[in-house]
Structure formats: structure tokens, C-alpha cells
Amino acid sequence: MGRSRGGLTTKINALVDMNGLPILLKITPGQSNDGRSAADMFDSLEAGDVLLADRAYDSDALRGAMEERGVVANIKPMPNRVRHPTFSAPLYKLRNEVERFFSKIKHCRAIATRYEKAPMAANRNLAYVKAFFNWCIDQESVESNPAATIKKPAKERTRDRFHSL
């Protein structure tokens, strides 16, 4: 959870394939920088892969890291950049698969609005997401569970309950 003027917020960073299926998901605090907080997500990219990312991920460090690994980074440059790197607008249009992925998961209201701030509810939502991706593996629509490595968002505390007659 991150704190901002709007209260407690989170971001969902997603790495999806060309079919719009998730490869990796990462939940970060709302005030964190997208490029820095999601940098470790790109470790799964290999030589010959193409990374399509929006302006939030535009940095010389990320572009350099991708170039060293042989990954083509087609990242929309920030408008205030002095030196504009190579960018292909037609290739960037394929990035809509990411937006389509977010559109699909927003049908689940709890994810779309991120209501669940209580530890128990957040942990149960994570369990639901993990079960969903395990089902996707069984249906052979994804190869691995991107939520498998996500730790529980918070530690649940037991509550004393008193019942009276």
C-alpha cells in the first residue's frame, strides 16, 4: 500500500504476451515510480524479445539494460526528452494487448476498484487470483502462474471473539 493525497493506493504492473495473457504481475505502492519498481519484472525477457512500454517506463537505464540483453525496447519517449531514442509508432500500437488485459481483469470489481484494504480480505483476494491462474494452467491458456511468487500482502491477526447467551 502506498499513501498519496487520495489515500492508500496501489498499482498493478503487468507483463503480458502478444495474446494479452499475463506473464508476470506485480503490485506496488501507488506513489512508486513505474520504471524503477517494475524493473525486476523484465528479467524474464530474453534476446530477441520485444518490450512495448508506455512513457512511465522511459529511462536510459532501462533501455541500456534491455539493449545489453538483446531485447528490443520500443518505449514511447517522454515529451520533454532532449535526445529522442528510436521509436516505432506502428509497433507501439500492439501495446493495446496490455490495455485489453487490464480491461478483462476490471470485470472483477474488487480488482478494478481495489476495495480490499484489510489484510484478511487482501490475502483472500490473492488466494483467489492464484487459484484462477492455476485453473488457467489446467486449461492450457497460460504456462505458469504469475501470482505464485507474490507474498501475502499483510499478516492476518487473530481476533478474540466473545459470545454471550
Residues 84-123 have pLDDT tens digits of 898 999 998 988 888 888 887 777 666 555 555 566 667 7
d(C-alpha 77, C-alpha 81), whole Å? 7
pTM score = 0.61
Cβ contacts of residue 155 below 8 Å, gap of 6+?
Answer: 119
Q: Are 95 and 16 in contact (CB under 8 A)?
A: no
pLDDT exceeds 70 at position 160: no
Identity of residue 42: F
Domain residue spans of the chain: 2-115
* CATH code matching the domain that covers 2-115, chosen among 1.10.760, 1.10.10, 2.40.50, 3.30.420: 3.30.420
